[in-house]
Amino acid sequence: MIVLVVSMPEGVVAETHVSEARERLTASDFLLVDIELPQEVSPDEMPVADQLGLAEGLTWLGRKGESVRAEYLGDRAGFVVPVVEADQVTHLHAFVTERYLVTVHRGPLALIKTLTARLPHERPSDIVATLFLLLQEALESFRRSAVEALLAAEDLEDEMFERRHPEQVYQLARLRRHAALLHHSLLPYLQVMDETLTRRMMNPNFPEERQRLVRSYQQHARLVLTNIESLQEATRRVFGSYSSLVSGEQNGVINRLTIVSTIFLPLSFLTGFFGMNFTYMTNELESKVVFWLLAVGLQAIVLFIALYMLHRTRLWRKLREADDADDRGARARPTSRIGRRSSNPGW
């Protein structure tokens, strides 16, 4: 167990023992305590609430496998917040009163380092403002992950138009699963948070400054959810582009096979016709000159007619224009990548 105590509002961080953190929670009026638990749960592990001397009914604090939570209990509140860490979704537990904020997580969490680095500059006015800084950082982890995946999906689409290979399907499937993970992890939490915060704002005694914090948080949450939905839409679009490329290549192959069949089907008929064992064939066509005239002449006439019909129907021209359009599109895609990347939403 690693225990960090952050003196507020200065934001001075110090690593200490859990017993000292317990004493400071009792005496301090403005304190942040962060506890990092091991990834694996030991059989003799004591509940974090008991070690810190917190109120009863907090057995969920630090317990592995807890679902999202957002509840107010009089003058205190408890949260289980999803956070993106190294492309995986983990959960941060938070317990807050009017005097202190306790956060618990399993394994190292970059969000805590980012938060403690911001505190000396932000200098929040009270512990509730510190809590909303923490919740905003949790949303930012989802936004950053969604934007990075969105850029990767657009780059992958550009690569498809330049050169398509099967490995791209696997990469696209991973991006699609990641988008679904972000959406399924964040949406239930936002629904619970929105319900809890709305009830608090309906209280006439809820301070105006905290109402402002709540509105800012809800607006940020909606924008992050929009980014994740944009990622899902982008992965669906890239899948459609890949399917269109495969269908176009298959159509080109079928067209070429049709042309070959158009040319050689009459020739196959002539070969089969003159190969039949009829009396006329064996008795009348005794001269080599007549044989070669019929064999070569008829085939040349059939080839000439077939090529003439293809030229008249402009099928050759359509195939060449399609190939030229694919080449121009492949050359133009890298340029459009820069334009698309610069148009991505940022904060």
CATH of the domain at 56: 3.30.460.20
Assigned domain for 230 exists: no
Residue with tokens 């999906």: 153
Assigned domain for 269 exists: yes
pLDDT recorded at residue 319: 58
pLDDT recorded at residue 313: 66
Look up residue 7 and give its amino acid. S
Assigned domain for 193 exists: no
Per-residue pLDDT of the chain (347 residues; tens, 9 = 90+): 788 888 887 778 888 888 888 888 888 888 888 899 888 887 877 888 888 888 777 888 888 888 898 888 778 889 999 999 888 899 999 998 888 898 999 888 899 888 888 888 888 888 889 999 999 999 999 999 999 999 988 888 887 777 777 787 788 888 889 999 999 999 999 999 999 888 888 888 888 888 899 999 999 999 999 999 999 888 888 877 777 777 777 777 777 787 777 767 777 777 777 677 766 666 666 667 776 777 777 777 877 877 777 666 665 566 556 555 555 554 444 444 434 444 444 33
pLDDT recorded at residue 53: 84
Assigned domain for 225 exists: no
Q: Residue 339, Cα to own-chain centre: how many angstroms?
A: 20
Assigned domain for 178 exists: no
φ, ψ (nearest 5 deg) of residue 54: -80, 180
Domain region containing 290: 255-342
111 membership: H or E segment, kind and range: helix 110-122
Assigned domain for 1 exists: yes
* Burial category of 221 from C-beta neighbours within 10 Å (exposed 0-12, middle 13-18, buried 19 and up): buried
Domain boundary, last residue among 56, 87, 119 = 119
Assigned domain for 223 exists: no
Domain count, the chain: 2
Alpha carbon distance 76, 249 (integer Å) = 63
Closest to 214 in 3D by CA, of 129, 144, 305:
129
Overall size of the chain counted in residues: 347
Domain boundary, last residue among 119, 146, 181 = 119
Q: What counts of helices (H) and strands (E) characterise the chain?
A: 9, 7
Assigned domain for 14 exists: yes
Domain boundary, last residue among 76, 92, 119 = 119
Integer-rounded Cα Rg, in Å, for the chain is 35
95 contacts 54 by C-beta, under 8 angstroms: yes
Sheet containing 100-106: order of strands: 12-16, 2-7, 31-37, 100-106, 88-96, 76-85, 69-73
**Who contacts 220 (Cβ-Cβ below 8 Å, separation ≥6)?**
136, 139
